Structure 1
Amino acid sequence: MAAVELTVFQVILLFWSLRTAVSQVEMRCPSSCGNICIPYPFGMEEGSYLDERFKILCNSSSGVPKLTVDGTKLEVRYISVRRSTIGVMFPVVSANCGGKDRNTVVDLEGSPFVFSSENYFIARGCGNLALMNQNQSTIGVCVSICDKNRDSMMASCSGTDCCQTTIPSFLKVFNVTMKGLDDGKGSSGEKQCRYAYLVAQSWINYGSYYSDVGGDSDPYDMRHRDSVPVVLDWGIDERVFESLVKNGSFHNSTGRVYDNYRRKIKAKMAGIGVGVGFGALFLLIGLWWLYKVFKRKRSEKLKKKYFKRNGGLLLQEQLSSGEVNVEKIKMFPSKELDKATDHYNVNRTLGQGGQGTVYKGMLADGKIVAVKKSKVIDEGNLRQFINEVVLLSQINHRNVVKLLGCCLETELPLLVYEFIPNGTLFQFIHDPNEEFPLTWEMRLRIAAEVAGALFYLHSAASLPIFHRDIKSTNILLDEKYRAKVADFGTSRSVSIDQTHVTTQVQGTFGYLDPEFFQSSQFTDKSDVYSFGVVLVELLTGQKAISFTRSEEQGRSLAAYFIMAMESNCLFDILDPQVVKQGEREDVLMVASLARSCLRLNGKERPTMKEVTMVLERLKKSENLIVQQENEYDRNEVMGAPWDVTSASTISSFEIGAPSSLDEKPLLHTY
């Protein structure tokens, strides 16, 4: 044991000497402002920076460096050449907060900077709808709801008076609009203090990361601050960099200094290497072997810890009960999934959302899968999470993405799904392929397939499942462009005659059932509303939320569609392909069905079974619909409630149970 300790000491001494040599070089700073080092390509004097975009203004009296971006001077906190980042103090957008209304727009287009993914977008306030906008499109939404009983000392940001979300990669514009939401009891949110800001994750996670910003009991409370720490990524054109290095002008004086530094490092490393001798090599080999043994044991211990924390024991309990088909739940080893995704390479990313990140992977047998790395799961909801894994793994429907298995021995749970190759319905609608256009026949078929999948989840399973986040981005298309409902991260299974009550907003703005804001209850009719929005997307080719439409037309596609129906202007807003290819009677029928799904009163909406029947019969029997045109009341199609429409429509179609649902009952897992 003493020999091992001596070996460790000698190796530490070796690396400490090497590190000292490097640190002595790194500590030298070409120039500084106050206590902030200003390395190249940044600089303060002409000729000391790469170009004007990297110029740093230094106030000699205060010693505070500032970077000018889009006409806004941002205080610089640090500059890292190694990580290509720069920390700045960024403005807070606020309204109705003690007369300090601010709304600063910062555009990084044309600059070498982008907002780093290390930042969070956070919105505070009772009933605050905060939207991040870029190029007249909404790219981020954060909604905080009201709760007067919330403990003001509780430092959390989970949707009540505070919400947070990640930002898109390569974000170049900071432009935030906020709107107050009613609390459902007549109190207008427009008069409430609300504010939003970008902030470095390190500040939220570690509080006092910046020595002069902190001390608050609530790290999310920034109402009294004008600015907060934000991280920007930066870079220079590769060809410019290579040219500068090639001709030795990577800032002449700085280049000469760096060359001297490298020569000194090499000289000192050579001297240390001679002094230590070859004996250190054998000691390092021995320590490396000990390290590998220790690492393997530590890895095994961590796997057991994570397996237990992520509900592995509960899953084993379910499997051993005899009530679950064990063959349908595969427990993937973490090593296999790590290799399949190339160590979760960012280039393998298929998508990223509120529930986690999805990676493309290839298993050892050559099968392509989608691996979803979930976000942290509340330990109090472990049993519910495991029950849902068991339940979803037994779903057998051709229009539902198949859950193949899971891995619970990693820090974050991993779910493995079948891989769906042709992207999302959102992409197919809003980024059309000219060589493979979205025809009326395909729209009708996709709508029927999604409706059939939801009908199956709601009523054909042994325990009904509410998806709770139906939207076009959660509908995938396989190699034959068949619809596959995906992303059950927020889904819930419920007993018969039971609704699910929640205190957090779950779903997507533009698709979310407005009745939920009044009752805080998710029902099967909440999914019906969301499906209605998708149906309108298919009819119009427009997005669920759009700021290109005027306020009179309505930012919400649902409101815009209903307004067009009521004013008999439906065909003015339809997609040209729909008008050109669809039979007028068919289009009117689908539009009537969509409007029924969007009724504000959930009880007046059809069930997914009724929706599926109409779409299946419409898809198969278009000739029958034309023959029965005389029985079809156009006034009812344009505005009658569902109970009237369904009575005439369903009876005229002689609808029976759809034959192509491809459904099999689920097993009971509780």
Structure 2
Amino acid sequence: MEEVLSVHLAVAVALLLLLAAKRTPAVAVPSPQCQRQCGGVDIVFPFGIGDNCSLSAGFNVSCQEVQVQGGVVVYRPFLGNVELLNISLIHGTIRELNHISTYCYDSSSSSMELSTWCFDASETPFRFSDVQNKFTAIGCQTLAYIMDNTDKSYQSGCVSTCQSLSDLADGSCSGIGCCQTDIPKGMGFYNVSFDTGQISPSGLGRCSYAVLMEAAAFSFRTTYIDTTDFNDTSAGQVPVVMDWAIRDGPPSCELAKRNEETGSYAYACLSGNSECVDSPNGPGYLCNCSSGYEGNPYLPHGCHDVDECKNSPCPSGGVCHNTVGGYRCSCRVGRKLNERSNTCDPDTTLITGVTIGFLVLVILSSFGYMILQKTKLNQVKQEHFRQHGGMILFERMRSENGLAFTVFSEAELVKATDNYDKSKIIGKGGHGTVYKGIVKGNVPIAIKRCALVGERQKKEFGQEMLILSQINHKNIVKLEGCCLEVEVPMLVYEFVPNGTLYELIHGKDQASQTPFCTLLRIAHEAAEGLSFLHSYASPPIIHGDVKSANILLDGNYMAKVSDFGASVLAPSDKEQYVTMVQGTCGYLDPEYMQTCQLTEKSDVYSFGVVLLEILTGQEPLKLDGPETQRSLSSKFLSAMKENSLDAILPSHVNGQGSDELIRGLAELAKQCLDMCGSNRPSMKEVADELGRLRKLSLHPWVQIDADMIETQSLLSGTTAASFEIEVGTTELVADYAR
């Protein structure tokens, strides 16, 4: 009995297997030995070379020998008798070479010769792409037709005319010498013909051309009209794009899937991670890998997972985790992923919990909290001071000189400058940007913000803070304080409202309107300030960037020396003088540029150039004009040597100062500009000499009255010499940051 049951069971299983085999036609799977490349073109399934290597006969490719220019034999892929250029699985397209149809005049036979080409792909999986192809005609007096032999009986034409070569333009194909027209969807066959009644030989060209071709591969040239370049260059063939699909079965994905379920059709999308897409051009369907997968959907297991993390799809600060068919992003502790904006936002839940815990800790252990906060504050303080010059520098200022300035908070300076509004900017330079601000009590201040935060800028910040904190002189800009809470260091100065000596000398019409005695007084005051730096500061301070733009003018037009970013403390060891050359062209000491040793006499040389600006009203360096006239110091020294000083002095200087005064000031400038630093006077000697020269400009019995007149002229805007400065309406502000 058991043997009978076993026989019946075996027969039943065999019948089921036979029925399943009949219901599910197998899709051909290529052998691993199939050739997968020809002539540099990848032949991907469903295309194939050789027997049982393609999905169907319509996708069979042959690899043929072709003789190219020079007699060289190469292999190229062909679909039928048409050369194949490439295959795209993703877009469902191929590119092939299509023949050009011609209608040319034969001068030997004095007749027109017609050569047309028809392309028939109607019985294949291919259709001409209506998106990427255009029917193109080239020539003068050319009328070409394109026709389809399908039930739609499509026919269209393209007319190209031209009267002269001057009407033509490269790249233009709008009917003059060249025309293009679209084709409809579903074309698998086309034929070209010419209206011979419209074509006649002319002096503009003997040939007309027509072809269906890839639009992106064509750019019209005017030489195509009067030469045979179009046909010769392309060897009579141009690319055409064909849309392909699985067309030997159901015309849509829905029917293909339904027939597969009934076992009456072999479904081509074999990969488990693939999906069906209806053909956009004609009946049939295509297979694509599902989202998150890539590969060949026509092969079993052909679609494999894409590692999306290689392209960094996660937000900045996030971590990407590749998953099968996709990916997942996560954020570091304290942040969570916002999928809508694809950003790592703060984790408010975690922040709230930490805040509540922190508040409880404060309430329960206030004493411990105060100690902890004090420790943290000291750590932050040490870190910021380390970044901006070092804690050692600050302690040195406190112990040796006393801390005579205010440490401002960032909030105070933000409020004082309206959050660093652009309208508050009063100067920009290589060392930073300067803002005008108003602090408590309506006190104006100037806030210097360093432009960069490198090692050199940190050193300059600490240097300037150290230098200015130990100086208290009426002719040196006063350091009111600093801000150490920010990454970019900031210094706070007294506000000096009336601009710079540079603006007073070189501003519009200023040189001729400013009394010479005023300029002489300002120079004397600046010299007093520099003399204080050299002679009375301990240790002595070398400014390093003396120029008229760094001499500021306060409300009473008193000189204030500023910008100590390039300054150094005079060392006791000569070897310590070696430094990087920095300063302003036109003011630099030639000896300093040669030796890289910055000394007090380097400041004397630069101040000598300032004296020349006062004497001549000219800028220290001009980039135009003859080379001998570009440097003011060189021009001045030549004039002194040739005893022709009057040639470089402006008329208003000769009119306002005595010959003794002018000659004395010129001689002082000459001594300051001596090429040998040891021969130059000290700044104290320069200041004393300027004081003596000022006395020469006035009679002793009218000196006091003259000083009053000068002050009134600067503040009121009028003098007997028509001196005009608009103090009330225009606030000249110093360029602290240079």
TM-score, with normalisation over the residues of structure 1? 0.47
TM-score, with normalisation over the residues of structure 2? 0.43
Q: Larger C-alpha radius of gyration, 1 or 2?
A: 2
The structure showing larger relative contact order (alpha-carbon pairs under 8 Å, at least 6 residues apart) is 1
Q: Which has the higher strand share?
A: 2
